[in-house]
């Protein structure tokens, strides 16, 4: 498959289109990002790289990191984590308090904010130094030792993260947060502040395309079964209340972030990361969605 030719075709088709949408200004540091940035990077399991635009410029991956936190917690804790967080699509905004109240403090899935907070709480209980250990895990699976947190973004999230604090406190009242709330929030804000390029992100998500094995070392970090389940959660829950639309249009497991990034995988074939900061009303990258829809249309291949 000549992915580079396909990506160039996609670039040409999208050049004549205008994409409306707004950047995520509710996190002040993200409001400073150039809304016209655009990058794509695809990694095949044959070890080849294909890319467009600003594929090596770092950006805040935001909620894409929730998949990585889930992978680490699942690796360490196994099925036990699903006693505290469900695996059902939310059908509601990613920061819904109403749904959480109705369901007695058990988040609908690990990829909404409340679910990711529970995963962070689990990791704090399991890791000696949560921030450092999480970062080491990301560097290991990506193959890039320079990946780090963006402290300005983490601080910006802390200053504006009142709703996340409300979610954590509500779950604490139901007994589903075990550690100190401020510690959980600090770790959560740092995971969301991970700064990565499309190239780094696509290489990181090769783990999920390669059935739980690192392509660059051959080491198995997740069983094939656990990887399948993480991909299933991405497929059904990775785009909040637009997950059905993404499955319908694109047909790949993936995860979006309000920094404008999307990471997706075709198991057994490739991983891809797209970055375009303008978000549609559901909080997903408008241009990123279009790129991935065209990719699976032009290749004629998705998981379906």
Residue 275's φ and ψ, nearest 5 degrees, are -135, 120
pTM for the whole structure: 0.96
Contact predicate 174/105, CB 8 Å: yes
Q: Are strands 59-60 and 194-196 parallel, antiparallel or unpaired?
A: antiparallel
Segments in 93-197 forming alpha helices (H): 97-102, 113-126, 130-142, 151-160, 162-173, 181-192
Quick one: CA dihedral 95, 97, 100, 102, positive or negative?
negative
Angle in degrees, CA 297, 237, 286, rounded to 5: 50
| Ranges in the chain, pLDDT < 70 | none
Closest CA to 289 of 231, 259, 247: 247
Cβ neighbours, 10 Å, residue 77? 17
pLDDT given for residue 299 in this prediction: 97
Q: What's phi and psi for 302, nearest 5 deg?
A: -140, -165
pLDDT of residue 278: 96
- Angstrom CA distances, 255 to 25, 39, 245, stand at 20, 16, 13
C-alpha–C-alpha distance, residues 294 and 272, integer Å = 13
Give the per-residue pLDDT at 131: 98
Cα–Cα dist 298/231, whole Å: 22
* Pairwise CA distance, residues 42 & 264, whole Å: 10
CA–CA gap between residue 179 and residue 181 (Å, rounded):
6
Residues forming beta bridges with residue 255, ordered by sequence position: 263
Residue ranges and CATH numbers for the domains of the chain are 3-299 (3.40.710.10)
| DSSP 8-state code for residue 112 | S
C-alpha span between 89 and 38 (Å, rounded): 29
- Report d(CA 296, CA 294) in Å as an integer: 6
């Amino acid at each position: 498959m000549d992915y580079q030719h396909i990506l160039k075709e996609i670039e040409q088709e999208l050049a004549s289109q205008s994409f409306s949408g707004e950047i995520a200004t509710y996190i002040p540091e993200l409001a400073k990002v150039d809304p016209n940035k655009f990058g794509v990077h695809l990694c095949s399991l044959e070890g080849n790289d294909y890319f467009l635009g600003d594929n090596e410029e770092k950006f805040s991956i935001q909620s894409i990191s929730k998949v990585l936190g889930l992978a680490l917690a699942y690796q360490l804790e196994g099925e036990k984590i699903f006693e505290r967080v469900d695996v059902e699509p939310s059908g509601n905004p990613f920061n819904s308090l109403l749904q959480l109240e109705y369901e007695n403090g058990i988040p609908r899935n690990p990829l909404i904010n409340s679910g990711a907070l529970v995963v962070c709480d689990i990791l704090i209980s399991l890791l000696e130094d949560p921030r450092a250990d999480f970062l080491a895990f990301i560097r290991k699976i990506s193959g890039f030792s320079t990946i780090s947190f963006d402290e300005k973004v983490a601080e910006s999230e802390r200053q504006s993260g009142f709703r996340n604090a409300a979610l954590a406190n509500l779950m604490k009242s139901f007994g589903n947060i075990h550690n100190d709330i401020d510690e959980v929030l600090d770790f959560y804000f740092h995971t969301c502040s991970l700064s990565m390029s499309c190239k780094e992100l696509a290489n990181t998500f090769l783990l999920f395309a390669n059935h739980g094995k690192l392509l660059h070392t051959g080491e198995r970090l997740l069983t094939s079964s656990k990887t399948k389940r993480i991909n299933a959660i991405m497929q059904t829950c990775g785009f909040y209340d637009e997950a059905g639309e993404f499955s319908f249009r694109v047909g790949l497991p993936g995860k979006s972030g309000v920094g404008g990034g999307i990471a997706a995988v075709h198991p057994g074939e490739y991983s891809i990361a797209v970055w375009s900061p303008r978000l549609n009303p559901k909080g997903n990258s408008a241009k990123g969605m279009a790129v991935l829809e065209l990719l699976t249309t032009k290749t004629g291949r998705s998981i379906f």
